[in-house]
Structure formats: C-alpha cells, structure tokens
Amino acid sequence: MNPSLHLWLIPILPLAGAAINGFLGKKSSRQGVSVVGLLFPGAAFAWALWVAARFSSLSLPYQEFFAHWIRISGFTADFTLYLDQLSLVMLLVVTGVGFLIHIYSIGYMWDDPGYYRFFAYLNLFLFFMLTLVLANNYLLMFIGWEGVGLASYLLIGFWFTKDSAASAGKKAFIVNRIGDFGFLIGLFLLIKHFGSLNFDQVFEAVKPLSVETAGAGVLTAIGILLMVGACGKSAQIPLYVWLPDAMEGPTPVSALIHAATMVTAGVYMVARSHVIFEHAPMALTVVAIIGTLTAFFAATIGIAQTDIKKVLAYSTVSQLGYMFMACGVGAFSAGIFHLMTHAFFKGLLFLGAGSAIHAVGGEQDMRKMGGLKSYILWTFLTMSIATLAIAGIPPLAGFWSKDEILWKAYQVSKVYWAIGIITAFITSFYMFRLLFMTFFGDYRGTQVDAHGHVTRSHDAHAHGEPHESPMVMVVPLMILAVLSLVGGLVGIGNRFEDFLAPVFGSPEAVEAASHGTEMLLMGMSVAVALLGWWLAYLLYCKRPELPQKIADSLGDFYQAVAHKYYIDELYAALFVKPLIDGSTRILWQGVDRKIIDATVDDSADAARHVSDEVRHMQSGNLRSYAGWIAVGSAVVIAYMIWMGVR
C-alpha cells in the first residue's frame, strides 16, 4: 500500500488562492494580492516537488480516491487523482513553469487596475490544469479541459474594454467548442463500447482487442474524435486560428496558457490515450499528418509576421505540430519530452518578449524595436538562449527533443522527416529573424518629428529610453534560461524515454547499424538550424534592405503569407458568414420573428379583433338585447327541432 500523498492539495491550493483573490482581492492591497497569488501556487509547486521526491518509493500508478461523483448502474466516475510518470512530468511542468510565470506577472501586471483579477484567473487556471493532468478518468479530465478553456477565455479577454481582446476571447472559446464537441462524442463512444471512462478500465478493455489494421473500426473513430478535441485545444489544423488571436491577452498569459501548458493539454490527452491510438493505426496516421502539416504550415506563416507575439504564437502552433507528429509516429515519450522542453524555452521566449514589450512601452511591432540588446541586456541574453534552444542548436533543450522526434519520424516515414527538417530550418530562420529584428541594429522606436521633439511613435505613456525590467521579472527569465540550457540533458541516452517506459511501453530495440544514420540525421538537424541562423543573419543584419526586395519580388505570394494565407478570411466566408446570415435571415427574421413572435402577436391581435366586434353587442339598447334573446332562443329551438327530426 502506498502512503497517502495528499495529492488533492496540489489542485486545491491554487483554487483557494483564486477564491481568496477573486472574492477579497478588490479591497486588499497589491502586496496582499501578490502574497496570496504567489503563496498558493508556490505551495502547490513545493508539494509537487515533495511528491516527486517520494516518487521512486511508490507503486505506480498511484491513485487517490477523493470523493464519489457519479455512480449509476455500473458506470462510475469519481473524483480520483491518478499519478504515474506521465502525470508527474506534467505536474512538475505545470506547477513549476506556472509558479515562475506568477512571479513574473507581479512585475508585468503591477500597474494594471485589474491586478487582483489577473491573479485570481491565473490561479483558477492552475487549478483546472492540475485537475486535467491528475484526473483518473476522462470525465474529470474533461472538467479540467473545459475549465482551462474558461480560464483561457477570461484571460484572453482580460482587457475586455478593448474590442479586439473581447472578440479574440470569444473566438478562442467558440473554436475550442468545436473541438470539445468531437472530444465529447469520443467519450460517448467510449461509454457505449467499454462502459467506463476510467483510464485503467478503458485501457484494460482495449488491450486484448485486435489492432484495427484492416479497416476503420470503433477505436479508429474514438481516436479521431479525441484528436478533434486535441486539435481544438492544441491549436492544430484546422482549428488553430484562435491561438494567434489569443495574443491579445497579457503576455504572461500567452506564456503560461498559450505556450507552456494549456495548449499542450491535447498532446497530453493523446499521449494518455496511447493505448487506444496504438490499436487504431489509421487514427495515428491522422494525428501524424495533422501534426506534420501544422508544423510546416504555421512555421511558414511565422516568417512574415511583424508582431513579436504573433511570431511566437505561430511558432507555438508549429512546435505543437511537432509534438503531434511525434505522437502520430508512436513516439509518445518524444512528444512529451518536446512538450517539456518547449514549456521551458517557449515560456521563456514569451516572457522575454513581454520584457521587451515592457521595455519599449507597449510596442509589439518588431519593426519599431531593434537595437534593444544594449538597453535590456538580461532579456537579450536569456532570449538568445531560448532562441538557440528552439532553433535546435546543441546542447540546448530544443535540440534533444526535436532531434528525438525527427529520428522517430524518420523510422516511420521519410516524408514526415523531410517536412520536419524543412520546418526546423524555417523555425531557426524566423526565430533568429525575431532576435535580430528586436535586439540588433538601431533602435527604431523613437521618431524625431518636424519640431525636433522626440516622440514615441505608438504608445501614449512614453517613458523615454527602453529600460530593463525589474528583477522580479528578470529572475524567472534566468531560471527558465537555465532550464532551457540543461533541460534537454535528461533525454541523453534515452533516460527520459526509459522513465516514461512504464506508461508507454518499452521502446523497440533499434538496430545497431542505424546508429550511423541517427548521427547523420542529427548532423543534418544541426546543419539546417545553422543555415537558418546564417540566412537570418544575412537578411536582417548584413543586408537589412534585402527582405523588402525579396518580399516585393514574391508579390502576391508574400502577401498571402503575410495575411496568414487568408485562412481567417476563408473561415469567415465559409463558416462565420453563412452562420451569421443563416441566424439573421432564417432563425431571427424567419423563425423567431415570423413564427414564434408572430404566433404570440397574432393570437393577441385576433383576441382583440374578436372582442372589438363582440363588444358592439353590449350597446345598452334594451331592444337590441331583446333581439339577441330572441335570436338566441330561435337558434336553440331550431337546434332542438333539428335534433328531434333527426
């Protein structure tokens, strides 16, 4: 028997923080809000570390029953927490990176009037994310899944007085709803065929089934439906459109929710359901194709963006594509490995971008930055590390995980690998483009107008020269930079894979002869990363006039890329407009106005008209009353006679 770990404390602590800040924060001071906002996630992180320290002495998977929930005729779903190697990795990433971003947020959000609200939402998000990660059944996971969607909606629309932020939150929520619909139907199918949603029971029931190689069966259907859900949450084609818009939220939110944790929930869910996917090769192929396409597609859009956060957003979509590619080729542990390293370096990139935005007073356009490295050295250094990490330069974190994925993909199909390595090149290029545009060259933010005054081009509350962020923001950057530096080392010698092996099964023994190939592929990954670096250096440092010329010579194609291939416009024309038109013309003007309203209105009108006519009988004229009596009795008599005759 395992000793009780009191795992329930880990999700409950941030919930308590959210409740305290949410209900009492308005009246308390910023210091008070900060203490509560940090203490509870910090305690959750500490508890997660304590759990991790006890981890090796546990018999896994460790399950902790908390409370009954649903028990009807053989179907049970309880509030039970589930801990195995996979949940432990997610637990540490979510609480650890989450805690760092909470610290950072103190500096970033200090001047915001909604300070307490921000921390309440952020803590609420942690609660739901931890519920998602620690659930022992799909239904509890779904609660967390919807909850993080809610927190994401609240935080994207945090500055809700700004129209674009409000509609971006709405868009995220609605697009996620489409994915959740697929997820939910997948769950219904699971209940129908296996009578359970508990991970253990479902996977035990699936294991003896034969692999659906011949045709698509129920497992394939379930797998694809779960993938639809994952597509929504993890921003994969065709449901990725909400993530770039989600950058309307405050930058720490982008770092925590839309880079490090929430968007990886889909990857976690697919990895958690690996037994189902392994029995449905067709679903697995779908996952791999969607992942590969998304990785490539989003990366190409990233090249032409000028908003620093949009570049990172498309980069996130692309990296999530890598994770799905890994899951799709059956390398679930590689996917989770990339999830972890990505949480480090992408969290760092967003926080660094936030620090840079903070430094130049709210400007997000990279064309108006430049030369920041002499102003904000720490941000520059940490962001360089993150860029090197995501570009795949050894020995930083991104190299190990990305190379692992590409190697696994190569073993399954060379097509995945080829697209993956092209994507790696593009990734390296756009990330160094971002770095060079932001930190190198001359500062382009201030403009001298005709009167010789130095004016800020964009932001109203100008504060002179770019300045370094406070230490409370820089320290999390440094910690994440260290993690981005060394985080990949846990993957050397398949240690990470071996750690997760009890969950995903042991990796197949790779033939010795292929080690040469592995080295060659590794060399190629590094080569394309360096090539991307060099190209970005050439275009954005040596010859800054070249990019514009290239863009001009590409003409329409460049415009298409810069406008994100007009996907938003396409969706607007294909789905949004018909929906709005249909709702307006058919449902509103047709059904609501002409049927529902008309029924009520017309019956009232009819009653009024009839009464209007009948009213004239009561004229007050005695003789007309007598007449009516005579007519009435005549009718009655006629009726009686007629009945008698019949």
Write the burial class of residue 49 (CB in 10 Å: 0-12 exposed, 13-18 middle, 19+ buried): middle
Nearer to other proteins, 502 or 632 (CB): 632
What number of helices (H) and strands (E) belong to the chain? 27, 4
Nearer to other proteins, 559 or 624 (CB): 624
Range 274-333, binding other proteins (CB under 8 A) = none
For residue 626, state whether it binds other proteins (rule: CB under 8 A).
yes
Nearer to other proteins, 630 or 636 (CB): 630
Range 246-265, binding other proteins (CB under 8 A) = none
CB of 643 to other proteins, least distance (A): 18
CB of 646 to other proteins, least distance (A): 19
Nearer to other proteins, 606 or 634 (CB): 634
Q: Do strands 62-72 and 75-83 pair parallel, antiparallel, or not at all (unpaired)?
A: antiparallel
For residue 27, state whether it binds other proteins (rule: CB under 8 A).
no
Helix pair angle (163-194, 138-156), 10° resolution: 170
3-state secondary structure 568-582: HHHHHHHHHHHHHHH
| Cβ-Cβ contacts under 8 Å for 590 (sequence gap 6 or more) | none
Nearer to other proteins, 582 or 627 (CB): 627
CB of 630 to other proteins, least distance (A): 5
Q: What is the rounded distance in angstroms from the CA atom of residue 383 to the CA atom of residue 376?
A: 11
What are 307's two structure tokens? 């908003």
For residue 610, state whether it binds other proteins (rule: CB under 8 A).
no
For residue 582, state whether it binds other proteins (rule: CB under 8 A).
no
Sign of CA dihedral 582, 585, 591, 597: positive
- Answer whether the bond into residue 238 is a cis peptide, omega within 30°: yes
Helix (H) / strand (E) containing 64: strand 62-72
CB of 601 to other proteins, least distance (A): 34
DSSP single-letter state for residue 257: I
Q: What is the DSSP string of 338-405?
A: HHHHHHHHHHHHHHHHHHHHHHTTS--BGGG---GGGT-HHHHHHHHHHHHHHHT-TTSHHHHHHHHH
CB of 603 to other proteins, least distance (A): 32
Q: What is the rounded distance in angstroms from the CA atom of residue 565 to the CA atom of residue 517?
A: 36
Q: What is the rounded distance in angstroms from the CA atom of residue 223 to the CA atom of residue 358?
A: 43
Nearest one of 130, 54, 64 to 92, comparing CA atoms: 130
Nearer to other proteins, 415 or 631 (CB): 631
DSSP single-letter state for residue 210: P
- Candidates 147-155, 541-549, 610-618, 620-628; binding stretch for other proteins (CB under 8 A): 620-628
What are 306's two structure tokens? 């000028």
CB of 622 to other proteins, least distance (A): 8
Nearer to other proteins, 415 or 630 (CB): 630
For residue 616, state whether it binds other proteins (rule: CB under 8 A).
no
Nearer to other proteins, 606 or 640 (CB): 640
Size of the site for other proteins (CB under 8 A): 5
Nearer to other proteins, 579 or 626 (CB): 626
Q: What is the rounded distance in angstroms from the CA atom of residue 376 to the CA atom of residue 104?
A: 16
Among 527, 546, 604, 630, binds other proteins (CB under 8 A): 630
CB of 638 to other proteins, least distance (A): 12
For residue 623, state whether it binds other proteins (rule: CB under 8 A).
yes
- Candidates 235-243, 402-410, 605-613, 626-634; binding stretch for other proteins (CB under 8 A): 626-634
Among 523, 582, 627, 632, binds other proteins (CB under 8 A): 627
The 103-142 site mask, x for binding other proteins (CB under 8 A), equals ----------------------------------------
Q: What is the rounded distance in angstroms from the CA atom of residue 242 to the CA atom of residue 228?
A: 15
For residue 638, state whether it binds other proteins (rule: CB under 8 A).
no
Q: What is the rounded distance in angstroms from the CA atom of residue 182 to the CA atom of residue 138?
A: 13
End-to-end distance of the chain based on CA atoms, in angstroms?
92
For residue 620, state whether it binds other proteins (rule: CB under 8 A).
yes
CB 351 within 8 A of CB 255: yes
For residue 598, state whether it binds other proteins (rule: CB under 8 A).
no
3-state secondary structure of 239: coil
- Candidates 56-64, 155-163, 497-505, 622-630; binding stretch for other proteins (CB under 8 A): 622-630
- Pick left, alpha or beta for residue 393 (phi over 0 → left; psi -120 to 50 → alpha; otherwise beta): beta
- Candidates 181-189, 406-414, 483-491, 623-631; binding stretch for other proteins (CB under 8 A): 623-631
CB of 613 to other proteins, least distance (A): 22
Nearest one of 80, 89, 54, 188 to 141, comparing CA atoms: 80
Nearest one of 242, 333, 244, 320 to 287, comparing CA atoms: 320
- Candidates 337-345, 538-546, 570-578, 625-633; binding stretch for other proteins (CB under 8 A): 625-633
For residue 454, state whether it binds other proteins (rule: CB under 8 A).
no
Nearer to other proteins, 451 or 623 (CB): 623
Q: What is the DSSP string of 440-482?
A: SS---SEEE-TTS-EEESS-SS--SS--PPPHHHHHHHHHHHH
CB of 624 to other proteins, least distance (A): 8
For residue 395, state whether it binds other proteins (rule: CB under 8 A).
no
CB of 605 to other proteins, least distance (A): 29
Range 155-184, binding other proteins (CB under 8 A) = none
Nearer to other proteins, 542 or 616 (CB): 616
Q: What are phi and psi of 135, to 5 degrees?
A: -65, 150
CB of 645 to other proteins, least distance (A): 14
Nearer to other proteins, 3 or 620 (CB): 620
Residue with tokens 């957003």: 313
CB of 592 to other proteins, least distance (A): 45
Nearer to other proteins, 570 or 641 (CB): 641
- Candidates 82-90, 524-532, 584-592, 624-632; binding stretch for other proteins (CB under 8 A): 624-632
Write the burial class of residue 630 (CB in 10 Å: 0-12 exposed, 13-18 middle, 19+ buried): exposed
Q: Which residues bind other proteins (CB under 8 A)?
A: 620, 623, 626-627, 630
